[in-house]
Structure 1
Amino acid sequence: MKVPATEKRPLILVTNDDGIEAKGVHELAKMIEDLGDIVVVAPDSPRSGQSSALSVGIPLRLNLIEHYRNISFYRTNGTPVDCVKLSMNQLFDRRPDLLLSGINHGSNSGVSIVYSGTMGAALEGCIIGIPSIGFSLTSHEPDADFSPCREIVRESCKKVL
């Protein structure tokens, strides 16, 4: 089940804490699809407030649910940090060039950074040596407009890559 390593294009891991069905993670993947090979690994349901939590005592599942163009979407029953660890241990033959977490529905600022699953995943990437960025939008609307994030996301990713 390993994602084949290609040295020609950057490998970008995308995750979140709002779950695989959240609009923000899909919009984020679309915003960067031309920058590399995109692999989205996200929880099967919202895991907000999970910080750097790991799942213990339960078997973790990882299922490919969709693939189009150069974006693959995987769902897991774990936390955002589990998404990072599962990706590294079960999907990839090489270290991703970039880890993105979000786009979160709601702000991750101030003390919220400590509790945020979105930021927990980004911090996990940093801990294991992957350049990582967490993105948020200050809207909790399920159908929020993420278009104002597009240029910030793209410029940030290009600079890191």
Structure 2
Amino acid sequence: MQEKPLILVTNDDGITAPGIRALIRIMNTIGEVVVVAPDSPQSGMGHAITVDNVLHCNPITIDDGPQIEYNCSGTPADCVKMAKHEILNRVPDICVSGINHGANSSINVIYSGTMSAAVEAGIEGIPAIGFSLLDFNYHADFKQAEEFIKKITLNVLLNGLPDATVLNVNIPKLKKEDIKGVKICRQANGYWKEDFDKRKSPFGKEYYWLSGEFVNRDKGQDTDVWALENGYISVVPVQFDMTAHHAIQKLNQWEL
């Protein structure tokens, strides 16, 4: 009998978040699921790892299902490291991260704990996908995304991924029948125009809230932002070699 694929599930919103609970249910229809996820929200953590503190990783049961689950005191990247090196008895066939509550398109991929978990898996040689739904609501409806998530996951299991590449998948906040399909895209050239809301506590101490608005400088129709604004699921292949290869020739002209 053919062995079921071993699927590692993680996220950055925390192990009890509705997004990861939905992702676990989808993955249970595909293979053998092991969950290693943060015990508290880690949004915006990026690729941080724990180096100056201890890590705790404990078995936990949250809801019914055949999955095996662990909550981890560390970051999303820590969770993947713990899973591969301490918990699993073989290398996972795939790692899926999410479903994130909110977008991870364009420059958001840099800050995303969801995508950093997927990237960490990729670094470890595990095919990986980060899934995000463009709905920050804790009670967001993930049902419209289930069929697409399953199809993308099965395609990665069947076809594999190019070396040093993971997938960043973003899903618009639309009903299933209104989603036009899936587009393979590039990351839009955008940034956050940031602001700090300066306030004072009742004791007169100053504190700040980070706020801002996303600015899309990219008018191309082949970007993730364009796809999402036009009713498509965006799939961006992400590489973790951060070398700016196009700049090497120019820098070699410097007198160093």
TM-score bin (small chain): over 0.9
1:4 aligned residue: none
Task: Give the Cα–Cα distance (whole angstroms) in 1 for the partners of residues 98 and 3 of structure 2.
Answer: 25
Q: What is the TM-score of this pair, normalised by structure 2?
A: 0.59
- The partner residue of 2:117 within 118, 121, 142 is 121
1:70 aligned residue: 66
Task: Give the Cα–Cα distance (whole angstroms) in 1 for the partners of residues 26 and 89 of structure 2.
Answer: 25
Q: Deviations over 1:4-62 (max 9, x none)?
A: xxx71110000000001100000001012021110111111110111111011111011
Q: Which secondary structure state, in structure 2, belongs to the residue aligned with residue 86 of structure 1?
A: helix
**Greater CA radius of gyration, 1 or 2?**
2
Unaligned runs of 5+ in 2: 158-256
1:1-161 map, 5 Å:
8-66=3-61, 68-161=64-157
Task: Give the Cα–Cα distance (whole angstroms) in 2 for the partners of residues 140 and 41 of structure 1.
Answer: 22
Q: Which secondary structure state, in structure 1, belongs to the residue aligned with residue 60 of structure 2?
A: strand
Task: Give the Cα–Cα distance (whole angstroms) in 1 for the partners of residues 64 and 139 of structure 2.
Answer: 22
Task: Give the Cα–Cα distance (whole angstroms) in 2 for the partners of residues 64 and 120 of structure 1.
Answer: 23
How far did residue 68 of structure 1 move?
A: 4.5
Task: Give the Cα–Cα distance (whole angstroms) in 1 for the partners of residues 49 and 65 of structure 2.
Answer: 31
Q: Which secondary structure state, in structure 2, belongs to the residue aligned with residue 35 of structure 1?
A: coil
Structure with greater proportional strand content = 2
Task: Give the Cα–Cα distance (whole angstroms) in 1 for the partners of residues 155 and 98 of structure 2.
Answer: 18
How far did residue 69 of structure 1 move?
A: 4.0
The root-mean-square deviation of aligned C-alpha atoms, in Å, is 1.2
Identity %: 46
Q: Deviations over 1:80-102 (max 9, x none)?
A: 00000000111111100000000
How far did residue 70 of structure 1 move?
A: 2.5
Letter matched to residue 89 of structure 1: H
Structure with greater proportional helix content = 1
Q: Which secondary structure state, in structure 2, belongs to the residue aligned with residue 150 of structure 1?
A: helix
Q: How many residues align?
A: 155
Letter matched to residue 103 of structure 2: S
Letter matched to residue 33 of structure 2: I
Q: Which has the higher contact order (CA 8 A, sep 6+)?
A: 1
Q: What is the TM-score of this pair, normalised by structure 1?
A: 0.93
Unaligned runs of 5+ in 1: 1-6
Runs (4+) of structure 1 exceeding 6 A deviation are none
